[in-house]
Structure formats: structure tokens, C-alpha cells
Amino acid sequence: MKKPWAGRFVQKTSRIVESFTESISFDRRLWRYDIEGSIAHAKMLGRQGIISSKDSAAIIKGLNKIAKEIETGRFRFSDKLEDIHMNIEAGLIKKTGGAGKKLHTARSRNDQVALDIRLYLRDEVKQIISLIRDFQKVLLIIAERHIDVIMPGYTHLQRAQPVLMSHHLLAYIEMLERDRARFEDALRRINILPLGSCALAGTTLPIDRAYVAKLLGFKGVTENSIDAVSDRDFAIEFLADAGILIMHLSRLAEELILWSSEEFSFIELPDAFTTGSSIMPQKKNPDVAELIRGKTGRVYGNLISVLTMMKGLPLSYNRDMQEDKTPLFDTVDTLKSCLMVLAQMLPRIRFKKEIMGKAAGKAYSTATDIAEYLVKKRVPFREAHEITGRIILYCIKNKKELKELSINEFKKFSSAIAKDIYSRIRAEDSIKAKTSRGGTAPSEVRKQIKRLKQLTK
């Protein structure tokens, strides 16, 4: 096949070079966006009189035929044509002859690929935002259904204070909301038209970039033709946002792994979302959660890959930038699959209310409540903290729980302590008392649920 740049070359491209430089094996997924952008470009060329309206119509008709052929698997891709752009253009020329040869007027593959990636990312980011919303709603349903489940809250992976399990899950909804907002914000920078920048310097032809932007639904056009073809910061921003999102998913996955272990035994994962062992018949492994945790490393690696690729490139376009697509596509696929599988798995988890509740009341988890009880009795907090620490030490030495101490034992540590202390040391009482805004009290958690329901409509 004749190369689009063949006029300047005497020798044919080596077959090993064709194989080494091709990207059609992975960028073919951009075909829909390449055709969409080319149709808009052809309309603009015809409207501006750069090509005839007849040629413009023939190009558009030919591109629509190619789209149907690709959809039905009848279009033949060739790695000799390197990429999706040249494959589609070659197919168009076969169908339309001279008209097809005019499509590439006033554009370059440099601005064409930047356009395709922006169109692709725009769609995918919208889908990811929708999946985040769906997952938030799943978490909200679980939180509302389990509003009475108490569990230990942790710091340093040590039992700290009792909390409602719902409150714990709502924390992830808040994280996901920030993730969603980051992607929404990234869309503003993705949704800018680069087409018309050509190779790097623009064109002498009277193109109308604003018209193309309108056809393609872009909010604006790039203002510097060199910048438009030479940077991928919009894609890097997406990858960075993806890294934060999957970090949050990985943290949740890690907790599911811990909670499903015999050591915690807080939850039972559904059979349909676990696997067994090839040698140990009793095993039920949290493979889905483990793979989410593992795939997080891939997403981080994809970000570093593109950052590293870009860090030393002089302006403007360099072929290195072809390497942006594999990490970008992989990140999109990974994020979507993780969000979808979690949204399916979580509603099927069985939460072991009694075990979680018992654990919440152990390890002197209401010690802070005693300190705050003393503060209410006008004891300075630092003194209250020390007094409570001595009470806990006494309990440990005497192998007693707080509720097992007599009032006389309590009074050994502070005369400010009265019988009403017993209404502060149960996990249930501790939770009910945490009425500060955003706290774990049922009244506050219900407010949070109500607010988040409105937010995620």
C-alpha cells in the first residue's frame, strides 16, 4: 500500500519498521471518534468553499459507509497503514476516489489524534462519572438498610471508638463525591477542540474552527496551535484523577478483605464474587477485592508511564506520544470494571451485626467518652485524659471491662465521677452522644444520608 508521505521517499518502509511503528492494533477503538471528527471537518471544508459541496457530501457518505462496515466487522484494517486515521482515509479514497483525497486538507494527524483522544475521553469520563454515581447509590442503600449496625472505628488498624457501620460507608461516598467532582472539572479541559492546529503552525486556508467545535459539541477551541498538538496534560489529568479514584476503591477493597477474614469475621462475601483454592477445599478467597487492590498498581503505573513519556519532549509533536494510548485505554477499562464489579458485589455482602457490635464494645473503645464526661464536670481535658488513661491501665491489670468497675473503683480516680458514668461507657451510648455535625450519632448519619440522597439524584 502506498504511504501518505511516499512522495518524498525512494525506499519502501521496512516491514519490521511497519510492525514496530503501527498503532492500529490498539488505536482502532478510536474509529468512531475519528469518523465523527472527519465528518465535521468535511462539513466545514465544504461550507467554507475549501472543497466543493459535492466532494464534502461524497466524503460524508463514504465515512458513514465505513462506520457501518466497522460496526459489522467487514472493514479490513492493515498495520501497513499504521493507525486508525490512515486506515479510514485509505478506505475512504477507495470508495470516493478524488473526493476522499481532499479530506486531509487543513489538518494533520497531529491535531487529528488529539481530537480523537479528546472525543474518546469526553465520552468515557461521562460514563465513569455515571458509574461513580451508581456506586454511591449502592453504598447509600446499604448504609440506610444497616443504620443500626455498630462496628469498631479504627486508627492505626487498632480499635479506636465505636461508630455506625453506615457512617463508615458514608465516608466512602464522600470520597467518591470528590472523585466525581474532579472528573467533572477535568471535562472542562478535555472539552476543547484542537482540530485546525494542523501539524503545529495552523493553516493558510480559511477554516472555521468555531463551526467545527459547535458541530462536535466542544465548549471552545485551543488558542495556540503548538500547544494543541504537543501536550497531553488533559489525558494526564484524567490519569491522575483515576489514580485517586482507584486508591479509594482499593482502600475499600482492603477493608472487605480484612473484614471477611476469620480474624475479623465482620462480613461474609457472596459465593458468586469469590473463588476457592485448587488444593484447600475449605477456602473462600476474596479475589475480586484483591484484584481491585492489585489493579490499582496498574493505574498508578499508567500515570507514571505517560508523565515519564512527556517529561523530556521538545515542542511540538513527537512520535513518543503514540505511547499515550495503551495506558489511557487500560486505565479507562480498569476503572469501569472495578466500579461495576463493586456495585454488583456490595449489595450481596452479609454483614454480621452481632460480631461487629461485640467488637465495637471491646478494647476500651469508649475511653474518650469518659474523658469528655469529665470535661463536662469541669475537669480540664489534659487532666481528664490522664485520669482516663489510669482507669484503663487499672482495668487491664485487673482484667476488667469498664462496665465491670464499681462506682467506688471509678471514684478512686476522680471524685467528679458519679453513677451517671454508666450511661457513657456502652458502645450504643457512645454513638448516640456523637451529635456534632458529621458525627456518628444516628441522628447525624440520617441527616448525612438525606443530604447524599439529594446530591446523588
Decide: residue 171, CB within 10 A, 0-12 exposed, 13-18 middle, 19+ buried: middle
Query: Average pLDDT of 98-115?
Result: 97
Check pLDDT > 70 for residue 5. no
* 363 found inside a domain: yes
Residues 177 and 298 in one domain: yes
Do residues 242 and 183 share a domain? yes
How many domains is the chain partitioned into structurally? Answer: 3
Give the contacts of 153 (CB within 8 A, at least 6 positions apart): 159, 160, 161, 162, 163, 168, 365, 440
4 falls within a domain: no
Domain edge (last residue) among 324, 358, 392: 358
**One domain, residues 346 and 371:** no
pLDDT band at 442 (very low <50, low <70, confident <90, very high): very high
In this structure, is residue 8 part of a structural domain? Answer: no
| Structure confidence by residue, pLDDT tens digits, 358-387 | 999 999 999 999 999 999 999 999 999 999
For residues 387 and 411, the answer to whether their CB atoms sit within 8 Å is: no
Do residues 124 and 167 both lie within one domain? yes
How would residue 17 be classed by pLDDT, with cut points 50, 70 and 90?
Answer: confident
Q: Can you give the pLDDT at residue 10?
A: 66
One domain, residues 201 and 257: yes
Q: What is the pLDDT of residues 246-302, one digit of tens each?
A: 999 999 999 999 999 999 999 999 999 999 989 999 999 999 999 999 999 999 999
Give the pLDDT confidence score for residue 20 in this predicted structure. 83
Predicted confidence (pLDDT) per residue in 27-36, tens digit = 999 999 999 9
Q: pLDDT (tens digit, 9 = 90+) per residue, 107-160?
A: 999 999 999 999 999 999 999 999 999 999 999 999 999 999 999 999 999 999
How many alpha carbons fall within 13 Å on the CB side of residue 399?
A: 0
Which residues are known catalytic residues? 156, 277
State the pLDDT at residue 13: 77
Please state whether the predicted TM-score (pTM) of the whole model is above 0.75. Answer: yes
Contact, 108 vs 202, CB < 8 A? no
Residue 222 has pLDDT above 60, yes or no: yes
Under the phi-then-psi rule, with left for phi > 0, alpha for psi from -120 to 50, and beta for the rest, what region is 221?
beta
Q: Is residue 300 part of a domain?
A: yes
Residue 7 has pLDDT above 80, yes or no: no
Written as nine digits, the cell of 4 is: 501518505
Residues 325, 364: one domain? no
* Rounded Cα distance, 89 and 34, in Å: 10
At residue 78, the pLDDT reads 93
CATH number of domain containing 39:
1.10.275.10
Query: Do residues 24 and 77 touch, judged by C-beta distance below 8 A?
Result: yes
Positive or negative, the CA dihedral 47, 50, 56, 59 is negative
Same-domain status, 194 and 228: yes
Residues 27 and 93 in one domain: yes
Which domain covers residue 412, as residue numbers? 359-455
Give pLDDT, residue 11: 76
Residue 352's pLDDT band, with cuts at 50, 70 and 90, is very high
**Residue that is last in its domain, among 52, 81, 105:** 105
Shared domain for 224 and 297, answered yes or no, is yes
Provide, rounded to the nearest whole percent, the portion of the chain with pLDDT above 90: 93
CATH number at residue 312: 1.20.200.10
pLDDT for res 22: 85
C-alpha cell at 269: 462475601
